[in-house]
Amino acid sequence: MTRTLPPPVFKYDVADYPDLCRRITRWDDHQKLPVIETKEIIVGQDVYPRLPELLSAYGKPSGKMLVLMDSTVMYRQGRDLKRDIINLLSNAGYDVQELVLEGDSFGVVHTDFEQVELVMKALSEDTAMLIIGTGVVTDIGKHACFMYAQQPQCTPVLLFSCMTACSVPAYTSHTANVATHGVKRSYHTRTPDCILVDLQTLIDAPDELTIGGAGDTFPVFCAFADWYLAEVFGYSQIVDGAWRIYDDIRELFIPYIGEIAKRSSVGMEVLAKCIQNVGLAMTYADDTVSASGFDHVISHMLDMAADKDGRQVGIHGQQVGLGVLLTLLNIEKLAEKLDQIYEGAMALDIDNCFPDEESAKAAVSSAFNELGQAQADECWGDYKQKWSRWSANQAKLIDFIKDWPQHKANIQIFTPYTAKQCVQALQVIGHPLALGELSFPIGESRGRWALLNANKMRKRFTSGDLAYFLGWLDDDWVEDIFARLQKIVQDVRNE
């Protein structure tokens, strides 16, 4: 008998945002959560015709409308999506001003402060902004609006966003990833007042973006383990609300992965709402840490090396999906080693776990000098803060090993799916399972470099840092992780 999935029921449904906000008032920590600008998330099969009506409801029945986008042509049921939206606004009486962001030699737009400042200059007190695009354009637009409002005598502008693909969780995130000296950094920003999620547009979006969005949702199954380790060693503190908002993702995302693979309306609804909840988790944490651990730094490393390699920057979510698999295997190896230490089967020289500043700086320089001095200096400036705090952590490390069984149990809670289960789910949607299978393939040697050195990129503490400081993250460690992944992928494909 064929099994039929029941309609998905969302505990925290972004499509009923007022109800979601009421539900979180029951959380013990709800008063600590930041207030965000988003008031409504419209989800439906045919949402865009409602734009003039919605703008009027937000006090903008006419006037200047800055439409921010890149040059990518997007199609909805065979029609030019951007042109249809612009014509809709023009016919409704809006004075539409188009701002098309220019890309690099590959046509790819990058989130940097030059782009942000370009958009800021186009804003004025009587202008509302509509973003039509995915994560990069969204981050540029919302951060430009945020910085504009920080200027003297400037008030916040009305900001609407059209989600054009289930590719990233940027829409509901209070952070923006903006490159500084070629290195991605997270900055506090704002969210749109209203987000439009048109399911037909998501169905018609390019497959590689949808697959990337699914990949960018998988960190839910490992990022909290990294965050937990950061809390244990005094770098951060877990926000309970950021964990609770993931309830729907843990319960619905993988069970509905087949619907996502088919690009059905139900599948796109599940993926879109899950991605929005990932963004909310980052907002509640006031940081990307709830959805960005070792997996993301690996992806950022691959991006940093793109120019050096002469290749196009890849699709973020696809790289992150692979990063999740590598992170889960890194955590698996850590647990195996820590079991042996706790049981007395192997020894750990605590003193060797704390390198001096000169050694730490030399390691960062060795990792990044091939990319340029600016990148090496930027990474050392951030990494130095992590190294400095770690230098005072000898007592914490001793206690961590002594209490390892309890820590291991907590980490298992934060990693509800194994690497193999994630490979099985990723395979269903056609997600790349090797670096050479990415939409923009990457050589294995570069991937090994990224895994080996990702911990040296920024101040955030992850499982990669723990493996490194314990003296285990070396070429052999990396080789074993890639070998394990290759074996899992082979086994899953042979099932």
Q: In Å, how far are 34, 88, 132 from 190, measured between CA atoms? A: 11, 26, 17
What is the CB-side half-sphere exposure of residue 116 using CA atoms within 13 A? 20
Domain borders along the chain are 14-205+252-285, 294-494
Q: Going by DSSP bridges, is the β-strand pair 79-80/75-76 parallel, antiparallel, or unpaired?
A: antiparallel
Classify domain 14-205+252-285 by CATH architecture. Answer: 3-Layer(aba) Sandwich (3.40)
The interaxial angle of helices 404-414 and 223-232, nearest 10 deg, is 150
Specify burial of residue 65 (Cβ count, 10 A radius: 0-12, 13-18, 19+): buried
Spatial distance between the Cα atoms of 490 and 314, rounded to a whole number of angstroms: 24
DSSP code of 403?
A: T
Tell me what pLDDT residue 110 has: 83
133, containing H or E segment? strand 127-133
Q: How far is CA 101 from CA 38, 67, 167, 205, 448, in A?
A: 24, 11, 19, 20, 33
Per-residue confidence of the chain (495 residues) as pLDDT tens digits?
345 778 899 999 999 999 999 999 999 999 999 989 999 999 999 999 999 999 999 999 999 999 999 999 999 999 999 999 999 999 999 999 999 999 887 778 888 889 999 999 999 999 999 999 988 899 999 999 999 999 998 999 999 999 999 998 889 999 887 877 677 778 889 999 999 999 999 999 999 999 999 999 999 999 999 999 999 999 999 999 999 999 999 999 999 999 999 999 999 999 999 999 999 999 999 988 999 999 999 999 999 999 999 999 999 999 999 999 999 999 999 999 999 999 999 999 999 999 999 999 999 999 998 999 989 999 999 999 999 999 999 999 999 999 999 999 999 999 999 999 999 999 999 999 999 999 999 999 999 999 999 999 999 999 999 999 999 999 999 999 999 999 999 999 999
Which segments within 164-244 are labelled E, that is strand?
175-180, 183-188, 194-198
Q: Give 294-494's CATH code, choosing from 3.90.1570, 1.10.357, 2.60.40, 1.20.1090.
A: 1.20.1090
CB count, 10 Å around CB of 80? 13
pLDDT digits (tens, 9 = 90+) for 284-336: 999 889 999 999 999 999 999 999 999 999 999 999 999 999 999 999 999 99
Residue 493's pLDDT is what?
97
C-alpha span between 15 and 23 (Å, rounded): 13
* Dist. CA 249–CA 374, nearest whole Å: 39
pLDDT at 363: 96
Bridge partners (DSSP) listed for residue 162? 132, 196
Identify the H or E element spanning 309.
Answer: helix 306-309
